[in-house]
């Protein structure tokens, strides 16, 4: 070993310590910067043979219209894709970790049948993690359907409310009340985790429209611009959340607008028979489908940004637009009658929505 003078050795030691400190600081700063750049919603779908997260044949909780395999869909590749963020990894589902975090809690999905898709997906993922755990099949009382996992002390609920605001009967007419959530809100306060969703029913007209009139404040109309009505309903909901909900006790999520795939020209396939026969994700997300889903998603994000209370957005719109292959198409029933390019096969895309829900819960 070379000898050195005492002053020189002291300077050398201080220099080494300083460089080590700078290096450590740089590593920490790099890690922080990497975490800042991690956007779970910016990525692509990649094939993963370890998927799906559960076997549809072993999950009797799936509605027939979502059970594409049982209805005769011949391909399976659509079940084998995972969402891969560009600069980080989406935490793989850990059913036991999830169960430990939500033990004793009541989880409620509120919305239309797209919420049913996610609710049943979550039930199947949990059942796959605890295949021997007893559970109660869905029981429905009024607008609320409930699946219980008693030994896990876990309650999964779905509340049917396609508009998230009230529809009431007034003078023999069904009125969509854009300024009221009172009919449903009492049930929301009895939960621990809420996941909301609304959009698709705002487009329904004619016999599919479940209301006769729209009430906007004191004004009653036969109809109005649906995007404006949608925004007014969302703002009614946000005012109620900001005023009435203790978000230290109740975690609130809002599911972004789920896209549909009815028009092949939106993904460069004018000859496509809607979503039928599509077996792989698109390389580029499908453009706006003409149903206003992009505009609705923009409005939703604008409204959520204006809130005082924290609401966690499950920003599923863009990542789901790649998945033209994920819909039931003609496999929404065993007779293969009709076409469904709105809902999603299970296992499938809603499983990823629940992984994103899980990833967000891990941070709370």
Q: Which residue has the tokens 């059913």?
A: 95
> What is the rounded distance in angstroms from the CA atom of residue 358 to the CA atom of residue 90?
10
Contacts of 45 (CB under 8 A, 6+ apart): 81, 82, 83, 84, 281, 319, 322, 323
> What is the rounded distance in angstroms from the CA atom of residue 364 to the CA atom of residue 359?
9
pLDDT at 336: 84
pLDDT at 1: 45
State residue 47 phi and psi, 5-degree precision.
Answer: -70, 135
Other CB atoms closer than 10 Å to residue 271's CB: what's the count? 6
Q: Which of 91, 158, 156 is nearest to 127 (CA)?
A: 156
Other CB atoms closer than 10 Å to residue 75's CB: what's the count? 14
Task: Record the pTM.
Answer: 0.88
pLDDT at 34: 45
Residues 271, 275, 278: CA angle, nearest 5 degrees: 85
Record the tokens describing residue 362, joined without a space. 């891990």
**Is residue 353 within 8 Å of 121, Cβ to Cβ?**
yes
> What is the rounded distance in angstroms from the CA atom of residue 181 to the CA atom of residue 179?
7
Record the tokens describing residue 68, joined without a space. 């594409």
Strand partners, 195: 109, 253
**Is residue 152 within 8 Å of 122, Cβ to Cβ?**
no
At residue 256, the 3 state secondary structure works out as coil
**Is residue 164 within 8 Å of 180, Cβ to Cβ?**
no
**Is residue 241 within 8 Å of 184, Cβ to Cβ?**
no
pLDDT at 98: 94
pLDDT at 14: 41
Alpha helices (H) along 38-168: 95-102, 113-129
Record the tokens describing residue 344, joined without a space. 């999603």
Domain map (residue ranges) of the chain: 39-363
Local confidence pLDDT in tens for the 364 residues of the chain: 445 554 544 444 444 444 444 444 433 333 334 445 789 999 999 999 999 999 999 999 999 999 999 999 999 999 999 999 999 999 989 988 999 999 999 999 999 999 999 999 999 999 999 999 999 999 999 999 999 999 999 999 999 999 999 999 998 999 999 999 999 999 999 999 999 999 999 999 999 999 999 999 999 999 999 999 999 999 999 999 999 999 999 999 999 999 999 988 888 777 777 899 999 999 888 775 545 578 999 999 999 999 999 999 999 999 999 999 999 999 999 888 899 999 999 999 999 999 999 999 999 8
pLDDT at 28: 37
Active-site amino acid positions: 113, 340, 343
pLDDT at 5: 55
């Amino acid at each position: 070993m070379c000898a050195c003078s005492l002053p020189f050795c002291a300077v050398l030691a201080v220099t080494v310590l300083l460089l080590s400190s700078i290096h450590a600081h740089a590593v920490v700063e790099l890690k922080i910067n990497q975490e800042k750049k991690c956007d779970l919603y910016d990525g692509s779908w990649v094939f993963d043979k370890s998927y799906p997260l559960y076997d549809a044949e072993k999950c009797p909780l799936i509605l027939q219209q979502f059970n594409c395999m049982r209805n005769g869909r011949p391909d399976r590749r659509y079940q084998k894709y995972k969402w891969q963020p560009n600069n980080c990894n989406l935490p793989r589902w850990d059913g036991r970790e999830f169960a430990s975090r939500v033990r004793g809690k009541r989880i409620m999905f509120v919305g239309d049948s797209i919420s049913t898709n996610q609710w049943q997906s979550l039930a199947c993922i949990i059942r796959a993690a605890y295949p021997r755990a007893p559970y109660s099949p869905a029981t429905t009382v009024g607008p609320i359907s409930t699946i219980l996992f008693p030994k896990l002390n876990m309650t999964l609920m779905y509340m049917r409310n396609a508009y998230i605001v009230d529809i009431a009967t007034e003078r023999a007419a069904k009125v969509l009340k854009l300024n009221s959530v009172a009919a449903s809100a009492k049930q929301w306060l009895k939960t621990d985790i809420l996941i909301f969703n609304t959009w698709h029913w705002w487009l329904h007209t004619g016999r599919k429209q479940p209301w006769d009139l729209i009430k906007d404040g004191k004004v009653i109309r036969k109809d109005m611009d649906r995007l404006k009505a949608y925004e007014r309903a969302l703002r009614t909901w946000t005012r109620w959340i900001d005023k009435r909900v203790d978000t230290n006790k109740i975690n609130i999520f809002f599911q972004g607008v789920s896209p549909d795939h009815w028009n092949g020209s939106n993904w460069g396939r004018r000859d496509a028979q809607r979503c039928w026969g599509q077996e792989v994700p698109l390389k580029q997300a499908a453009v706006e489908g003409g149903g206003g889903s992009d505009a609705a998603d923009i409005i939703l994000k604008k409204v959520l940004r204006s809130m005082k209370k924290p609401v966690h957005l499950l920003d599923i719109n863009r990542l789901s637009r790649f998945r033209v292959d994920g819909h039931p198409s003609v496999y929404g029933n065993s007779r293969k009658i009709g076409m469904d390019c709105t809902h999603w096969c299970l296992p499938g895309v809603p499983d990823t929505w629940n992984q994103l829900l899980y990833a967000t819960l891990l941070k709370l």
